[in-house]
Amino acid sequence: MEERNTETTGAMNPAIIVSANPVAMAEQAAAEFLRLSEQAIKERGVFLACLSGGSTPVLLYDLLADADLYFEKSVFFFGDERDVPPDHPESNYRLACEHLFRSDKGKSSTIYRWHTEMRDREETAFEYETTILRVSNQFNSVIQRDNFPVPRFDLILLGIGEDGHTASLFPHTTALHESQRIAVANFVDRMGIWRYTLTFPAINNARNIIFLAAGEKKAEAVRMAVTGKADISDIPAAGVRPVEGNITWFLDEESAMLISAEVEKFQHQAK
């Protein structure tokens, strides 16, 4: 990967890496994921990584499964989960097991998932929040923000929906306004379903955030999120603004097609 552009752009100061296509984008993102894991392990002896669901990360997960990822020194969490059992085809945990954790090394990873099989959704969320804080604290990665404990993940991997949602922070949902809890159950009226998600306090205290987005259908949401001009109720991804951390957007040419001005200024056109 080329020398990272240390300059930043837009209201949220993201770096933007535009690749020719989704495969090249996954390769660039994999290189950064590995760089961050090595940096975290070197500095603190562990890599606390929070994974995304959806289809975009699959190529990345398959690349990482075969790479020198230090699985034994990494601890994995999930930024969100569907309201389904862990073996359900729509489960983000199952997706990660089938791709990122499919190798022998991967199968021995330390993974903390949402216990969606519990009967009470509030209990599932509260238990996951407790686990995140307990494990992060074990690795000196919990800080007090506005007198509330928040985890400090080394990396949070995020996607973005066409409607501007990220994790399971969907437009006009209750979780967008959560300022104390770090993990909640979130009812998505538009879809009539429950989801589980980290909240902005948990996401915005990460050391590093990687957004992945590919395809023309994401271009408008990416534009609204990167320029930081959108109301977060309409475009929740625009609310991802780390307090003390970095954001890097890994895009392909289609998803970046509406932000050429920002990319030109600080572009990092990956070869």
Task: Provide the binding-site residues for ligand 6PG, judged by CB under 6 A.
Answer: 52-56, 80, 92, 159, 161, 165-168
Identify which of residues 52 and 246 has a Cβ nearer to ligand 6PG in the complex: 52
Work out how close the CB of 6 gets to ligand 6PG at its nearest, in angstroms, rounded to a whole number. Answer: 27
Work out how close the CB of 78 gets to ligand 6PG at its nearest, in angstroms, rounded to a whole number. Answer: 8
Identify which of residues 46 and 155 has a Cβ nearer to ligand 6PG in the complex: 155
Q: CB nearest ligand 6PG: which residue? A: 159
Work out how close the CB of 72 gets to ligand 6PG at its nearest, in angstroms, rounded to a whole number. Answer: 26
Whole-number Å distance between alpha carbons of 34 and 107:
18
Work out how close the CB of 96 gets to ligand 6PG at its nearest, in angstroms, rounded to a whole number. Answer: 11
Sheet of strand 183-188, all strands in order from the earlier edge strand to the far edge: 80-82, 193-198, 183-188
Pairing state of beta strands 267-269 and 193-198?
unpaired
Whole-number Å distance between alpha carbons of 72 and 45:
11
**φ/ψ (deg, to 5) at 177:** -100, 5
Whole-number Å distance between alpha carbons of 234 and 236:
6
Work out how close the CB of 68 gets to ligand 6PG at its nearest, in angstroms, rounded to a whole number. Answer: 25
Identify which of residues 65 and 213 has a Cβ nearer to ligand 6PG in the complex: 213
CB-CB contact of 176 with 232 (8 Å): yes
Work out how close the CB of 213 gets to ligand 6PG at its nearest, in angstroms, rounded to a whole number. Answer: 8
- 155, 161, 166, 172: CA torsion to nearest 10: 170
Whole-number Å distance between alpha carbons of 224 and 98:
32
Residues 6 or more apart whose Cβ sits within 8 Å of residue 198: 50, 79, 80, 156, 167, 182, 183
Identify which of residues 142 and 242 has a Cβ nearer to ligand 6PG in the complex: 242
Residue whose pair of structure tokens reads 């200024």 in the numeric block:
265
Identify which of residues 10 and 164 has a Cβ nearer to ligand 6PG in the complex: 164
